[in-house]
Amino acid sequence: MADLQAAARGFHAELRSRAGEIESGRRLPADIAKRFAEAGFYRPCVPQAYGGLESDPLTLSNLIETIAEADGSAAWCVMIAATTGLVAAYMPPATARVIFERDPNVILAGVFAPRGKAVEEGAQYVVNGRWQWGSGSPNAKWIAGGCVVLRDGKPALLPSGVPDSRMMIVAVEDAELMNNWDVSGLCGTGSQDFAFKDVRVAKEMSVSLMSDKPLARPLYAFPVFGLLAAGIASVMLGLGRAAICELIAIAGGKTPEGQRKPLAARAKTQEDVAEAEALLSSARAYFRDSIAKAWDEARRGESLSVEARRDLRLSATHAARSSVRAVDLMYHLGGGTSVYRSSPLQRIFRDVHVASQHMMVAPTTMELAGRLLLGQEAELSQL
């Protein structure tokens, strides 16, 4: 799977040269999205049985991180489309083949959060709802929205007593895309709101990541939320690396106002670059170690331990926080250079701060990990 990372590096020069176009267009250009698909960037989580790559989590992480070193929005679109491909493992085989096997370059977008309602009517659901963060939706063929299932006017309950929440998978032309993605960072992700209005969805076009049984393969024993959090952290680690590289590139040629020494010769610059490198590299090592340990359990056919799932989420959030700190250090060292739209540092700064707002790397993750470390009771359904 090293070919995926090499292919991603092959896009670096183009992504950097087209960064302004990606931002101003508020979406990933269709030609880049198409070539990403042809390179296999959206298939790491799709089962091999349906023409996917069924990659290991570290391969997925490396792919996303490598793209993010060139452009955060492009990496975010890959992360969302790739992880949404997990739904294939939860579908009836005939349905999965229609979506994934017939079109190996298919692009999916979707939001897990159950913000919609799906009224059960025989073999179908009638779906209504509106979702935020429809990342990659302008280039997607299918889009999924999480819904609470209603039966006889009431939420259907799982045996555990919690409401049945399912992702409804709909052709993009049957959804309403709101074109309201006007934000400070990750501008090129096309993460607009989308809505389903009285859309009829066949039951086989819905999946529950909480209660449906996926294919019995190691990748699908890996925690879904752990994999999503890892994808977000990978984007942010790539942005952190990009910020350090950019600061080093300008430091030798920039002399701050009122100073005689170039930026690279100043003690403060040297200290902060060293701190950023240590933050990023140590967080990445812990993150990758947690993924590797969880993957070992999954490959042995075991149910992942609470400790493995805890460390996945904790290391991802720690990587996210460390990336923000590293970017902030580089941004401030850049001084006035950092504020211009022509400077990659200001785009990286905006991107990493928007990514940090995702619930998968929010402060509540640290609280959950802390409760588990302290031996307190905790809700584990989304660990």
Report the CATH number that the domain containing residue 161 is assigned in CATH.
Answer: 2.40.110.10
Domain end marker among 61, 90, 119: 90
Alpha carbons 339 and 96: distance in angstroms, whole number: 47
Number of independent structural domains in the chain: 3
CA–chain centroid gap for 275, Å, is 26
Q: Which two tokens stand for residue 23?
A: 């931002």
Does residue 330 lie in a domain region? yes
Instruction: Specify the pairing of strand 142-151 against strand 154-155.
Output: antiparallel
What range defines the domain where residue 348 resides?
222-373
Q: How far is CA 147 from the centre of its chain?
A: 20
How confident is the prediction along the chain (383 residues), in pLDDT tens digits per residue? 459 999 999 999 999 999 999 999 999 999 999 999 999 999 999 999 999 999 999 999 999 999 999 999 999 999 999 999 999 999 999 999 999 999 999 999 999 999 999 999 999 999 999 999 999 999 999 999 999 999 998 999 988 888 999 999 999 999 999 999 999 999 999 999 999 999 999 999 999 998 999 999 999 999 999 999 999 999 999 999 999 999 999 998 767 665 667 899 999 999 999 999 999 999 999 999 999 999 999 999 878 999 999 999 999 999 999 999 999 999 999 999 999 988 999 999 999 999 999 999 999 999 999 999 999 999 888 78
CATH number, domain with residue 48? 1.10.540.10
Q: Does residue 243 sit in the same domain as residue 359?
A: yes
Do 342 and 301 belong to one domain?
Answer: yes
203 and 246 co-located in one domain: no
User: Is residue 229 a part of any domain in this protein?
Assistant: yes
Does 254 lie in the same domain as 326? yes
* CA–CA gap between residue 201 and residue 118 (Å, rounded): 9
Could you tell me if residue 216 is inside a domain?
A: no
Question: How far apart, in whole angstroms, are the C-alpha atoms of residue 337 and residue 344?
Answer: 10
Residues 6 or more apart in contact with residue 269 via CB below 8 angstroms: 251, 263, 333
Give a yes or no: residue 67 inside a domain: yes
Same domain, 349 and 252: yes
- Are the C-beta atoms of 290 and 226 separated by less than 8 Å? no
- Has residue 383 been placed in a domain? no
Three-state DSSP string of the chain: CHHHHHHHHHCHHHHHHCHHHHHHHCCCCHHHHHHHHHCCCCCCCCCHHHCCCCCCHHHHHHHHHHHHCCCHHHHHHHHHHHHHHHHHHHCCHHHHHHHHHCCCCCCEEEEEEEEEEEEEECCEEEEEEEEEEECCHHHCCEEEEEEEEEECCEECECCCCCECEEEEEEEHHHCEECCCCCCCCCHHHCCEEEEEEEEEEEHHHEECCCCCCCCCCHHHHCCHHHHHHHHHHHHHHHHHHHHHHHHHHHHCCCCCCCCCCCHHHCHHHHHHHHHHHHHHHHHHHHHHHHHHHHHHHHHCCCCCCHHHHHHHHHHHHHHHHHHHHHHHHHHHHCHHHHHCCCCHHHHHHHHHHHHCCCHHHCHHHHHHHHHHHCCCCCCCCCC
Within this chain, do residues 351 and 234 fall inside the same structural domain, yes or no? yes
Shared domain check, 228 and 357 = yes
Structural domain ending residue among the three candidates 65, 90, 115: 90
pTM comes to 0.96
> 330: domain CATH number?
1.20.140.10
Residues 229, 368: one domain? yes
215 domain-assigned: no
CA atoms within 13 A on the CB side of 57: 33
Q: What is the pLDDT of residue 1?
A: 44
Same domain? For 39 and 145 the reply is no
Q: Same domain for 252 and 358?
A: yes
Do 141 and 147 meet the contact criterion of CB atoms below 8 Å apart? Answer: no
228 and 360 housed in the same domain: yes
